[in-house]
Amino acid sequence: MIRTAAASIALALIAVPAAAALQVGAKAPDFSTQVSLAGKPMPFALAKALKKGPVVLYFYPAAFTKGCTIEAHDFAEATDDFAKMGATVIGMSADPIDKLNQFSVSECRNKFAVGSATPETIQAYDVVLPVKPNISNRTSYVIAPDGKVIFAYSAMDPAGHVTGTMDAVKQWRASHPMKGD
């Protein structure tokens, strides 16, 4: 019975289309939260991160689930390339920081921070998963240093999130060269 219910929920999650509510050109809502990097909790503020360059902000439903683990591995492999272009990667879910401390080490491979998304942040980014309103769907954004969304992609399948955000950062970087480029 429990296995059947879990399978039904999993199928419902796959069947529900995710929609990025923030459109390209929209102002990204500012937020601050606790994140974990390499198992260590620390504060994170979007405004502060944007002073360094673009931010790749991706929301995912729950740490240690199959799709979220795949996505974390993909972002971990790409984090050095994002950093070379001056971009910060941050993953967000409604998970508590203790769980994210473990996830940041084992699945994010100490490469990027994962943060605890408050219900207010999930609402502000309109990434509520309809079948489970207390968690987020899978949506990736790239936010330019001016706070504007330059890329938005929603799909429950983790495929396409890293390549889409990478392409957006590359395009942005091409028109905003770093000193020394």
Residue 71 lies in a domain: yes
Residue 10 lies in a domain: no
Residue 5 lies in a domain: no
Of the candidates 68, 127, 128, 142, the residue annotated as catalytic is 68
Angle, helices 161-175/66-84, rounded to nearest 10 degrees: 20
Catalytic residue flag (residue 68): yes
Residue 40 lies in a domain: yes
- Full-model pTM: 0.88
User: Any idea what DSSP says for residue 156?
Assistant: S
Q: Is 89 exposed, middle or buried (0-12, 13-18, 19+ CB in 10 A)?
A: buried
Q: Which domain holds residue 28?
A: 18-175
Residue 47 lies in a domain: yes
Q: Is 110 exposed, middle or buried (0-12, 13-18, 19+ CB in 10 A)?
A: middle
Identify the CATH number of the domain in which residue 42 sits: 3.40.30.10
Residue 62 lies in a domain: yes
Helices marked H in the chain: 2-15, 46-50, 66-84, 97-106, 119-124, 161-175
Residue 45: Cβ within 10 Å count: 13
Residue 180 lies in a domain: no
- Number of domains making up the chain: 1
9-19 in b/e burial notation, b at 16+ Cβ within 10 A?
A: eeeebeeeebe
Tens of pLDDT along the chain (181 residues)?
Answer: 444 434 433 434 433 344 557 999 999 999 999 999 999 999 999 999 999 999 999 999 999 999 999 999 999 999 999 999 999 999 999 999 999 999 999 999 999 999 999 999 999 999 999 999 889 999 999 999 999 999 999 999 999 999 999 999 999 999 999 876 6
